[in-house]
Amino acid sequence: MAIPDYQSLMLPVLKLSGDGGEHRMSDVVDSLATQLKLTEAEREELLPSGKQPVFNNRVHWAKTYLVQAKLLVATRRAFFKVTERGRSVLAENVARIDAKFLRRFDEFNAFVANGRTGVTSSPDIAPLAEDKTISQSTPDELLRATIKEVESALAAELIPRICAASPAFFERLVVDLLLKMGYGGSRAEAGRALARPAMAESTASSTKIN
């Protein structure tokens, strides 16, 4: 099965905390992975940054949103437990908890208004259109997707312009790129290095003509 999105994990996270005890995030991640029957490959799938598993990240964001809505409370680093509000929500026997559901709580709306989530907030959004403004991706995933889109758009604009530029411009571009990457010394030294082959080729051509 595919790794559930973070909103689909909100209710399972809240249910696991329903016993009222203090829970460690790493234990919750393991319990949910077992409950959802994730494979080892799914457990180990990493974010594009390569620094954290996708599943762990999504469980973390599910917990974060529940904390912001005051359904959970962080007790200490990497630990949390259910609140009275969280117990009340569980007593409702709801089928799903997501960002739209959490909007019934003022604290969560304040969190969204601060722009710290992947959820769009606007008092003018019509109820039927509201669902479309809630992303299934975590803020981390949205950020990386946005960066990728910007990079792709930039490449689509720059590559044709570079291809249409003069050879001299391309040489300067290569030199500047290499220097930015930490190769070589100064721009002047790199420029002299580029000039030598060009001068040698020009001299060779002149010799052949003569």
The reported pLDDT for the residue numbered 126 is: 30
Cβ atoms of 66 and 56 closer than 8 Å: no
Segment 34-76, tens digit of pLDDT:
999 999 999 999 988 888 999 999 999 999 999 999 999 999 9
pLDDT tier at 131, thresholds 50, 70, 90: very low
The reported pLDDT for the residue numbered 168 is: 84
Segment 146-198, tens digit of pLDDT:
566 566 666 666 777 778 888 888 788 888 878 877 776 666 665 555 555 44
Cβ atoms of 30 and 82 closer than 8 Å: no
CA of 33: how far to CAs of 45, 56, 81, 104, in Å?
13, 9, 19, 29
Cβ atoms of 2 and 25 closer than 8 Å: no
Segment 102-117, tens digit of pLDDT:
999 999 999 988 875 5
Give CA–CA dist 192/200, Å, rounded: 12
Q: Backbone phi, then psi, for 72, in 5-degree steps?
A: -125, 160
Higher-confidence position of 124 and 31: 31
Give CA–CA dist 10/144, Å, rounded: 22
The reported pLDDT for the residue numbered 146 is: 59
The reported pLDDT for the residue numbered 40 is: 96
Please give the mean pLDDT across all residues of the chain.
79
Segment 87-106, tens digit of pLDDT:
999 999 999 999 999 999 99
The reported pLDDT for the residue numbered 18 is: 97
